[in-house]
Every structure is written in structure tokens, then in C-alpha cells.
Amino acid sequence: MSKALALFNDKRVRDVIYQVALVVGLLALTVFFVRNASENMVKAGIASGFDFLWRNSGIDVPFVLTDYTRAGTILDLFWAGVANTMLVTVVALVLATGLGFLVGIARLSSHWLLSTIAGAYIEFVRNIPLLFFVLFWYFGVIAALPAPRDSVSVFGVAFLNNRGLTIPLPDAPANFRWAVAAILLSWLAQWLVSLWARRRKDRTGQDAPMLAIGLVLIVLVPALAIAWASLATRWDIPVLRGFNYRGGFVVIPEFVALLAALVTYTAGFIAEIVRGGIQAVPHGQVEAASALGLRPVRILRLVTIPQALRVMIPPLTNQYLNVLKNSSFGAAIAYPDVVSLFMGSALNNTGQAIEIIAMTLAVYLVIGLAVSAFMNWYNARIALVTR
Amino acid sequence: MRFLAVTAILAASASMAGAQQLAPSPTLDAIKARGNIECGVHLGLPGFSFADDKGEWTGLDVDYCKALAAAVLGDAKKVKFTPTSVQQRWPILQSGQVDLLSRNSTITFSRNASLGLNFQGINFYEGQTFIVRKATNAKSAAELDGASVCVAAGSTEEKNASDWFLERNLKVTITNFQKNDDAIAAYDAGRCDAYTAGVGALAGQRAKLKVPGDHIILTQPISNDPQGPVTRWGDERWQLIVRWVLNGTIAAEMLGVTSANVDQMKASSKNSEVRRLLGAEGNFGATMGLSNDWMYNVIKQVGNYGESFERTVGMGSGLKLERGQNQLWTKGGLLFTPPFQ
């Protein structure tokens, strides 16, 4: 008895007991919920299980990246929704980061007008709900664009109207795959050359003509590759027939509106993170750098931002996760994301509420964990190395 | 010996029948304890279920809920309306948050077979069609090749339209919105060439457009969408009540019983079916566990089906729908009800 008591008084043993008890309790709770739900569903005559995923979907989706058609299964519909969610999230992440950095740096500018405009923008954005942005861009964009018959023509090959932007689509994408491969190779070459140039400078102190090399490898080679691929391909050019343009690929206004809303909204928050990060860098660092004779832009690039990044990454990760979750606002304006397609159309057609909501949650969980794993890796990489 | 046993069993069951041993109805018991009926309705569809600026609900589907309250609780006002979206409607019913749904939902096989839903009759025969701008000069859905169509996601309309255009080899872009209201707003903003829903719903929603006169509802329907009150599986006696209150309002119209003449009909009608319907003869109400004047209360307070139709969606309303299929079978429509016998 006393021996058992002594064991219990050992902190390590006690911790293990608590943790095991917690895990067992959570498992029991889960089992209870699942059993309760399935028993009640059987009693209420509701079919359960994941068999419905292989049923024919029969739902039209106006904007697909996968090879989904209405003849596909509900599982195909699910993937089409996931792809659309990822597309808008990734593009919005990149653009919002860029815009957010610009606004955040402008906010700190000594130029009065610039910093006031940036400050007004930030305050405006942070105090207005996202749904307002989404609806504003959607109905604003649509009201501003003309009907198909009066489309804005871009060199007679692409057409902008309130049904979206119709762009020519290559008949055979093979040439473009080669072009993409060439571009990636040339960017890899640029990276290797810059590594070599830095080593050489460390060793000999000589500068390499990096600007010229960069222009050729980053801009010229890709431009030539794309030009070649475009000329070597037959294009499916949209033509106006009846109600709208036929052929080509349509970038739907829902995508543009959701993207614009996510970017303008998130940029406001990212700008504040950037401002906070930069202000967290002790002013002595800037003074020291200018005492060394560095110009303001180089100070920003070489001294301030690398140190500010360490402060910025964790809150930035939160914002990135918010972009992912906020992309579900697309459902309000018929952007076919996973919420709209799967939790909307598929849920109503099959009625499998529990399974469908669980799968949708899993999508956000998996993508969210992946984003934060990447950001944690990046955070660890740029962290201050102390010995 | 065996004869004796059989007689004993027969005698026992007879005495039980005499004592009104009704099968238990948890829904009915809960309603009586609570003092009102929880009725799931549409978020807002003029003519069917629509709350005015004072919060008063009106409409054909709303009238049915009121009729049910009059039958069960003797007072048509004892209803709590729960507005439900296309996405919420089934879970709200399945989980028991409402006693029934009366909200423009199409009766389909798969909903009946795999969602644990029961459909207790038809209070509106509807056909799906399209609303387009007059300027397009389209006269039928077959002329919509290349058009884009706005629709509520996951509705039967979404699938009907998709099937219909596919069958005819027409290329139509269907854009799915979460709510009917979002879809019609997008149509109004010029995002789509057409918006699709049932004829009744379109007539109601046309009023929400900026310039209703610029739009035309195509007459030729592409589907049949029967609609009526929905209950969940289980509780047969509750289903019986929901079904026969609906039958009762249609039977009353057929028998010429209206809210104006119901007192006189109850007192002096020589038609036995009228007398049974109004509780002057037989114990039809008590058989279901209700008071015997259940249908009298319904007709007195809400009126028969025809009265309700005229007031909410018919010529006496803003929608001005023809009776059409929703006319009695004796007058060329589809409404038919089993006799009260």
C-alpha cells in the first residue's frame, strides 16, 4: 500500500498516469459520440457510411482544375472542390504577402502622405467584416463589367465581361510543359550561378555581373520559352456565339472577386505584422548600419528585414491559416470551393451530413497543418543561431 | 379449451380498443406539453412562407402549419416558425428541432429512402422553369444554349436543369449559390442569363428584382416537383395527423365547406362525409388522439385549401398564379383526397 502511494508521489509516474487517463478519456468520449450518432442515424432511417462517395454526382461545376465532369463521382467532386480551395488560397497568400509588405513598409515611411494613406487603409480593412469585402468585390466587379455582347476585347483574343475573363486555351499543352521545364532549369541555373558568385566574392572580393546574368536567366530565357510555346501551339480562340463566348478557358468572376477580397483584406493584417516586426528591431541596429555608410534601402534589405522576419513569422503563419479558412467565404458568391461544392451541393444531394462535414473538416485540418509545418520549418531556418 | 383461449384474447383486445389505447406519439405529447407546434419553413419566399415587417408569417406553407396547430391545439396561432435554408432543412428535421417541415421541398425517392424523411401528401404541384430578361427574346428553355444559369446549390433544380440540358446537348453554365436569394441577386446583377426555380417560387421572387417588368417567366416546365409537408421516420401517429389535416383541407374544398359556412354546415349538413369531417358524427379526431372538432377548428380559423391558395398565391395575392394542376381533380386539376369514411 505504502509502496503504491510512494509510486504515486513520484512526479514522473503521476504525469504518465494523468496523460494515459486523458488519452483514454478522449478515446472513450469519441467512441461514445460515434456510437451514439450511428445508433441514432439507424433509428432515424438515415443511411450512413462512405459508399455515397462513389455515386454519380451529376453536378455541373463551372470552374474546374481537375478533370472532373458531371459524369464523375462525388469523390471527384470533392477533389475538384479541394483543388479550387487550394488554388485561391495559394494565389491569395502570395499576393497578400506582397501587398501587405508594401503597405506595412509604407506605413513606416517618413513620407507623410504615404504613411497616412497606408494607415487609413489598414484601419479601414481591419474594422470591416470579410463578407462585406467579398460581396463588395463581387457585386462591384459585376456591376462595373459589361454584358457579353459589349465585352472588353483584349487584342481580339481574350474577352472581359460580367461572365468572367475568357482567354484562349492551347489545343495541345505539351509545348507548354517543355517551356515550363526550360524556365525551371534556367531559374535553377541562376541560383547556382549566384551561389558561385558569392563564394568567389568571399574568396577574391570580385563582383560578378549578376544583374546581366539575372536578366538573361530570369527574364529573357523564360520569355523566349513562352513565346516559342505560344507560336508552336494551335490556340482555341473564344468567339461570341449566342449568349456568350465559346471556347477558351474562363476565369470566372467569383474567383476574381474572392481573390481580390482575400488579398485586400489579409494585406491589412499582414501590413500590421510587418510594421510590428520592423519596429521590434532595435533602432541601434539601423544607426549602426548607417554609421557603416549603408543606404536606407540596403539597410532595410540587409539589416532590418532579416531580423524583423524572426518576429513576423509566427503571426504570419496565423494569417496564412486565416486565408485558408476565409477562402470558404467563396461559398457566399458561388465560387466552387470545397465548402460550396461538397458541403453545399453534395451534402444536399446525398444528405450524408456527418460524413461530409467530417471530410471537409479534415481537408482544412490537413492543409492547415501543412501550411504551419512549412512555416515552422522556415522559422527554424531563419532563427538566430546562437552558440 | 382452445376456443376459450381465443375468446379470452378477443375479449381482452376488444376491451383495450374500447379504452382508446392509442400507440404513443412522442411528437404529439411534446407538442401538447410545449403548447405550440415547431414548424420549419422557407427563409422567405413570398406566397409560400414570408415574414412581413411585423414578423407575421403568411403563405401557403405557413397556412398549412397554422391548420395543423388549429387541429392539434385548437388555435391556429400556436405555431413557432423556424426559417430554414436549403442546407439546414433536413438536419433540423432529423435532429428533432422541428416537428415537421412545410417549405417548398420537392418530394424525391432518395430523400424518402435514404434520409429518413417521410412525405405526407402534396400541397403544391410545381414545375421547374426559368426566368430570363425579355431582351433575350428566349421563348423556351431550349433556346438557352450557351447561357449561364444561376441556381441554389444542392436543390433539385440544380440537378434537373443539368440533366435537362445534357439530354438536349445544350451547353449551359450552371452557377450554384448557397441561398435562393443570393442566386436571384446575382441574376439581377447580370451574372447569369437565367435563374431557375419552381413556377410558384419564381412568381414570388420576381417581385424581388429591380425592375420586375423586364423579366419573363418561361411557361414550359422542365420537371415535376410535387411538394408537401415532411416528417421524419418513426411516430406513425404523428404522420397520420400531418397527412389527414392536409387531406382534410382539400376534402373541405371538395365538399364545399368554407370558413364562412362551416358553422352552418356542422349544424345542418345532411352529407355524412361533411358531418364526419367536422366532428358532428363519428370519432375521427379521437381516433388520432385529437379533439373531435379538429377539422372544424382548421376550417373555421384557416379555411379550406382553395381559400388558402387564393389568399396566398392565387388571384387574391400578389403572385396571381392560376390554380392549374393545383385545382381539384373534379375541376381538371390533380388534387385528390381519400374519403373520410
B239-251 mean pLDDT = 96
Residue of A nearest to B185 (CA): A139
Residues 68-87 of B with CB under 8 A from A: 86-87
Residues contacting B18, CB < 8 A, separation 6+: none
pLDDT at A98: 95
pLDDT at B10 over 60: no
pLDDT at B17: 47
Residue showing cell 432543412 = B89
Residue of B nearest to A334 (CA): B177
Per-residue b or e along A304-334, where b marks 16 or more CB atoms closer than 10 Å to that residue's CB: bbebbbebbbebbbebbbbbbebbbbbbbbb
Interface check B146 vs A, CB under 8 A: yes
Q: What is the CA radius of gyration of chain A?
A: 27
pLDDT at B13 over 70: no
Q: Yes or no: say if B327 and B118 are a contact pair by the CB < 8 Å rule.
A: no
Residues 151-180 of B with CB under 8 A from A: 153-155, 158-159, 162-163, 166, 171-178
pLDDT at A275: 93
Tens of pLDDT, residue by residue over B273-294, are 999 999 999 999 999 999 999 9
pLDDT at A357: 92
Interface contact A163-B148, CB threshold 8 A: yes
- The Cα angle at residue B144 between residues B140 and B146, in degrees rounded to 5: 170
Record the cell numbers describing residue A179, joined without a space.
517551356
pTM of the model: 0.80
Percent of chain B with pLDDT over 90: 58
pLDDT < 50 stretches in chain A = none
pLDDT at A374: 92
E-strand spans in A195-310? 235-236, 239-241, 244-246, 249-251
pLDDT at B247 over 80: yes
* Cα separation, A306 vs A302, whole angstroms: 7
Using CB atoms within 10 Å of the CB of residue A40, give its burial: 0 to 12 exposed, 13 to 18 middle, 19+ buried.
Answer: middle
E-strand spans in B181-237? 194-198, 215-217, 225-227, 230-232
Ramachandran bin of A156, using left for φ above 0, alpha for ψ from -120 to 50, beta for the remaining angles = left
pLDDT at A1: 57
pLDDT at B15: 47
pLDDT at B194: 94
Mean per-residue pLDDT of chain B: 89
Percent of chain B with pLDDT over 70: 94
The partner residues of B115 in beta bridges, in order of sequence, read: A46
pLDDT at A152: 82
B38-64 mean pLDDT = 93
Q: Which residues of B touch A244 (CB under 8 A)?
A: 146-148, 173, 193
| Lowest-pLDDT choice from A26-30, B154-158, B194-198, B257-261 | B154-158
pLDDT at B23 over 90: no
Q: Which of B114, B145, B153 sits opposite A348 (nearest CB)?
A: B153
Angle between helices B180-188 and B199-206 (to 10 degrees): 60
The ipTM estimated for the assembled molecules is 0.76
Q: Which of A163, A243, A345 sits opposite B176 (nearest CB)?
A: A345
